[in-house]
Amino acid sequence: MFERTISLVGEENFEKIKEKTVLIVGLGGVGGYATEALVRTGVHNLILIDHDTIDITNLNRQIISTSKNIGNDKVEEFKKRIFEINPSCNVIIHKLFLDRTNSNILDNYQIDYIIDCCDSVDTKKLLIDYSIDKNVKLISSMGTANKMDPTKLEIIDIRKTSYDPLAKILRKYVNDLKTNKKIMVVSSTEEPLQKEGLTTLVFVPATAGILCANYVINNIINS
């Protein structure tokens, strides 16, 4: 099933992709497309963390949501979807809100990459700390709400971000850590639209998720 992937990246690189373990935290508009892209590119080992269920409001942007699975756990639905794409995958799921009270579960696994697609600032800080402490490569998605232009997204060090309220908080956090490690993020240079509440269409979060997956795959191939 991966003949076209192998013909592009080569057998050796495909085996590298296949053997790595990727943790995805958050399976919403961004994390769903990141997971989908990883599986279809050949990643076989995935750890999925999300505490949420599928809601009718997810239908406009989240790849896992359909009119038939509203109310179901996102992690369970994604596990089924992954096996429908590639039954050879090894998929570990945790239905929980990851925080510092339960993050020790990560120590049970040999994680090569983390894709952070969650909405919680505290969890994002936790994952930055974990990536530094354990020397695990991390790509973190910044805010995609109230933005319309997916072409304004870029993969960049957190220290170089702009026009992103979430990135501003994390930029200060990373600067205060005084770490030399690059903290790579997917962030938009588009100023958020002034809307009541957080709203979004599929285009920006989907593109952010694919960029996160693309970062991981390129890093595997080039390392």
Q: Which domains does the chain have, with CATH numbers?
A: 3-222 (3.40.50.720)
Contacts of 160 (CB under 8 A, 6+ apart): none
The tokens of 51 are what? 């505490």
* pLDDT of amino acid 191: 87
Low-confidence ranges of the chain (pLDDT < 70): none
Query: Can you give the pLDDT at residue 103?
Result: 97
Q: In the prediction, which pLDDT does 195 show?
A: 80
Summarised one tens digit per residue, pLDDT across range 100-117 is 999 999 999 999 999 999
Residue 162 confidence (pLDDT)? 86
pTM of the full predicted structure? 0.96
Q: Could you give the percent of the chain with pLDDT greater than 90? A: 92
Predicted confidence (pLDDT) per residue in 140-183, tens digit = 999 898 899 999 999 999 999 988 889 999 999 999 999 999 99
Q: Are strands 21-25 and 153-157 parallel, antiparallel or unpaired?
A: unpaired
User: What confidence score (pLDDT) does residue 97 get?
Assistant: 98
pLDDT at 196: 77
- Whole-angstrom Cα distance, residue 25 to residue 51? 10
Report CA torsion sign: 148, 152, 154, 159. negative
